[in-house]
Amino acid sequence: MVFTTCGHRKYLTSKELQSFAETARRAPLDVRTFCLTIANTGCRISEALAMTAENVDFEAQTLVIKCLKKRGKTIYRAIPLSQGLLQQLRRLVDQIGSASQRLWPWSRMTGYRRICEIMAQAGIVGEHASPKGLRHGFAVQAIQANVPLTLVQRWLGHANLKTTAIYTAAMGAEERKLAERMWLGDNAAETSASNEPAAPSPLRATGGAAARCGSLAQDAAFFHRPNYRFSVSIPGSILKQGEQGLPPQRRATDAIPKKSLLGQLLDCALLRFWLNRNSKNTDNSYT
């Protein structure tokens, strides 16, 4: 109901309603009161054209509207009016001078044309620039103002609450603010992530005993790998201090497979061979 088959909205937004009301206040008294009554009550154009002075309750500050769509039933609904609109209607009633005469003795086409003229002067164009657009806009604004759905149903004269609930599909300022929270949060996260300097790795920290212990513990974890030939023995106290800065996957105290006695002997033999060979090369370089 609030959108056409092409996806265009059929209701006036809050800004458009405000612009329409400001333009209508500059019109003659009859046109002004007619436009403001429909905009502030959401009544149908046929219901507004059928009103007389008896429909305006100045003491209760309400407008009593006869529901014309209830076939076979006579149902009235009362809608509160603002002080400003009541004063304008009082002036109109005084001009008419008869309680039984219609407030706006026009045809339906004339009333439709009066509203479209004010819409054009306000710069509102499109399918929603119509009396029904005012009615839909009133319903949307009421729901977005947190008016209870059952009360909006009574103001509009809907027989079924499901008909009124259709207006909840319109996006309002509150819904957009909720969406913006996600956008702002996402943008803020991206901004903070891009501007936040990378934290120095504890393994690469320089200076201090903790840094040196961390480096030793890292080296110990590296040399204790199964596929590495040599083992390095580091005191347990140093390992305990250094592994505080190590990530879980690089802790030196993790379970490390033990080498067999044969493997250790081979490591010693290879190390001795390597040292002897280097010493010979050194001696030859001096001769």
Domain boundary among 134, 159, 174: 174
* Whether residue 164 is found in the same domain as residue 42: yes
Q: How confident is the model over 43-61, as pLDDT tens digits?
A: 999 999 999 999 999 999 9
Q: How confident is the model over 229-275, as pLDDT tens digits?
A: 444 444 554 445 444 544 555 554 455 455 566 666 666 677 677 67
Q: What is the C-alpha separation between 125 and 16, in angstroms, rounded? A: 10
* Whether residue 76 is found in the same domain as residue 133: yes
Q: Nearest to residue 11, comparing CAs of 161, 142, 104, 117?
A: 142
Number of domains in the chain: 3
* Whether residue 137 is found in the same domain as residue 99: yes
Q: Dmax over Cα atoms in the chain, in whole Å?
A: 135
Q: Which amino acid is present at 95? A: Q
Q: How confident is the model over 55-79, as pLDDT tens digits?
A: 999 999 999 999 877 666 788 999 9
Determine contact, residues 202/214, Cβ cutoff 8 Å. Answer: yes
* Whether residue 90 is found in the same domain as residue 148: yes
pTM of the predicted model as reported, rounded to 2 decimal places: 0.60
- Residue 185 within a domain: no
* Whether residue 99 is found in the same domain as residue 227: no
* Whether residue 281 is found in the same domain as residue 269: yes
- Residue 179 within a domain: no
Determine contact, residues 143/40, Cβ cutoff 8 Å. Answer: no
* Whether residue 148 is found in the same domain as residue 33: yes
- Residue 57 within a domain: yes
* Whether residue 59 is found in the same domain as residue 49: yes
- Residue 148 within a domain: yes
* Whether residue 212 is found in the same domain as residue 280: no
Q: What is the C-alpha separation between 237 and 252, in angstroms, rounded? A: 12
- Residue 6 within a domain: no
Q: What is the CATH number of the domain that holds 31?
A: 1.10.443.10
pLDDT at 36 > cutoff 60: yes
DSSP state of 54: G
DSSP state of 52: B
Element (H, E) at 239: helix 236-242
* Whether residue 18 is found in the same domain as residue 106: yes
* Whether residue 270 is found in the same domain as residue 246: no
Domain that holds residue 284: 258-287
- Residue 188 within a domain: no
* Whether residue 32 is found in the same domain as residue 90: yes
